[in-house]
Structure 1
Amino acid sequence: MTSADHPQPQAAPTPDGPGSSMPTSVNSPSGKKLAAKAGTEDKPAAQLAQTQAAQIWREFRKRKLAVFAALLMVLEILIAVFAPFIANDRPLAFRGFNRFEFQALIRAADSLVILAKSNQSEGKPNKDLRKLLRSADENLAAAHREIDGATESGGAFQ
């Protein structure tokens, strides 16, 4: 048998070899040059120093609609947090004929309280107070009938 019949195994390619397919080590002179080239060609120096969060924020700011949506969400969260301070003292639901009746009801309640206090201090019977309470009850009952009639028929208020 000759050496042509049995081929000799070839030596494993070295990482620093000229035609090797294996990556070169950074410790070799050619590896240092490649590593230096790869680091500077792909990204500018300012971009290399940025953190991942800074890069994500920069990409996010490029999308104007996303920034607008984020600002809108922040505004809604602030409104939700400060809602108790923003809200007024009006009731959540009021049954009445129209929106002007609410102011009239407040004036009537205030006048009833003032009248009751003045009558108690003078020792007079509350005949006027009873008349006012009776008329307020009649108005409230009429408002309930009007609202209930409109909701049962499915129509809007008139």
Structure 2
Amino acid sequence: MKKFSGSSFLGLIAFALLSAVSFSFAIKGGDVFEIYLNGKRVCQQFVYAAKGAKTLEFSAASDNDKIDVSYLHCGRVGTKRVLLFRNEKAELVKQLTFADANGNSFFMSFYRKDIAKDKNNHLNVYYASNELPEGRLLATLSWKDNQGVAKR
């Protein structure tokens, strides 16, 4: 039976640690976004684990509802940020452009009344920036009509 020398054992430990550190950076992404309605978080998604866009249904939607969106690229706020609202046919309904973040002001905020309703009461929300020029679907916003029925 062959014995390991002290230096071989240390080399094996160093290789294992180096491998563990290397694999910890192998996950693609690191981006995360959150959506808030009137200050309450309704969605948080880590992009590397994304399994598709969520539908966020807002009951009794009011024109004065405030929606805040944050998107971080590996912990950093993007530049030249844009939220795009598209209908089911992928037609652009509204585009909101946001100033580059300064200090802690990294939210992209808008009010429900800023977005025209489509006939089905839902829109897909996309985020694009200098760091993500091709854009990414974040969620589908869906709201109930005056009778309290969500059209989907």
Shared fold per TM-score greater than 0.5: no
TM-score normalised over the length of structure 2: 0.24
TM-score normalised over the length of structure 1: 0.23
Structure with more relative contact order (C-alpha pairs < 8 Å, separation 6 or more): 2
More helix by proportion, 1 or 2? 1
Q: Which of these two proteins has the greater Rg computed from alpha carbons?
A: 1
More strand by proportion, 1 or 2? 2
